[in-house]
A = this chain, B = another copy of it.
Amino acid sequence: MSTLPPSLRWDPAGPALVLLDQTKLPGQEVFLTLTDPAEVIEAIKALRVRGAPAIGLAAAWGLVLAVHRTPGADRQSLDNGFASWYALLLESRPTAVNLRWALERQASVWKALSPSASRAVSLQTLTAEAARLHAEDEAVCLQLGENGLTLLKAGSGVLTHCNAGAIATARWGTALAPLHLGQERGFDFKVWVDETRPLLQGARLTAWELGRSGVDATLICDNMAASVMAAGKVNAVVVGCDRVAANGDVANKIGTLGLAVLAQHFGIPFYVFAPTSTLDLTTANGGAIPIEERKATEVTSLFGSAPTAPADTKVFNPAFDVTPAALVTAIVTEKGILRAPYETALRQVLLG
């Protein structure tokens, strides 16, 4: 039985945003009750909430808290409060596309308010839009799960990387959505979880999340995936993505490319789960996607360990890699399952 708690939920009684502090996992399950937009910004900056959809939702609820906290009932005060917190929330994670998008949704309903709208009506409008965003994300993820389940046989071995999970979204997750949903429907998957160096999202988050959902999950080091595949224990690989280029190339957590090559070698389908919001027709191909390099200490000291390499060791620490479309069996979106040629399929699903 699933005992997986939501990563974030709105408590109207507070009012407050109740947020799972993901930095405390897997050791502790700590829920923060945030009643002030400054606390939401701190939570985003400190990665207490992570995953593009979850960050966007936290920011949308943050704006609701902002207006709650804004003194005065006149339009000018309310507009000023909204605008200043909007700016602060927007810069809490500058590169997060969903963050901007969620804030813009709130700005859009805010601007549509009548100049005579009361404080209560303004709050009601923002609250309703945040709830709508929340419900929309949950619906998208559920549909990713439904679509994904059509690709996976009951009893399958499924390997996943990083955390494309429920706690990164409103609920269900992206690549993990079919696993949670399958668990509710007795699919009895056997899931292999890459620990996902250097930040161990697989070990810290996915192993925890699948465990709470009751899924049969086994943790491995990233370099063990080939052995598990060679032993015939993997029937499908499911991963999320950060961006899909117009030709179907996929940017995702470092290690994804290697898995895709292994999957092809061992004849295992490789499925990328991508809400249509991550499809980016303005990026021609993977070569045009900038890859962030992160600091050496992520590699040379781990989760509070002693240094694991000599102090002067040179380190290369790319956060993402690009998997060429040719290695992707299908891209699962909430609007359907896309197959090669992706150039055409992606345009069709986005432009109709």
Q: Which A residues have a C-beta under 8 Å from some C-beta of B?
A: 26-27, 192, 194-198, 200, 203-204, 207-208, 211, 216-228, 230, 254-255, 257-258, 261-262, 264-265, 299-300, 302-310, 312-318, 321-322
Contacts and interface: CB of A to CB of B under 8 A. Distances in A.
Contacts of A223: 194, 196-197, 222-223, 254-255, 258
Given A265-B261, A313-B207, A313-B219, A303 B300 contact: no
B197 A309 contact: no
Q: What is the copy number of this chain in the assembly? A: 2
A26 B192 CA distance: 31
A321 B221 CA distance: 13
17 contacts: A26-B307, A200-B308, A200-B309, A203-B299, A203-B308, A211-B313, A218-B314, A218-B316, A219-B309, A220-B317, A221-B254, A221-B317, A222-B223, A261-B261, A302-B302, A302-B305, A304-B305
A307 B221 contact: no
A310 B303 CA distance: 14
A317 to B, nearest CB: 8
A302 B303 contact: yes
Contacts of A204: 308-309
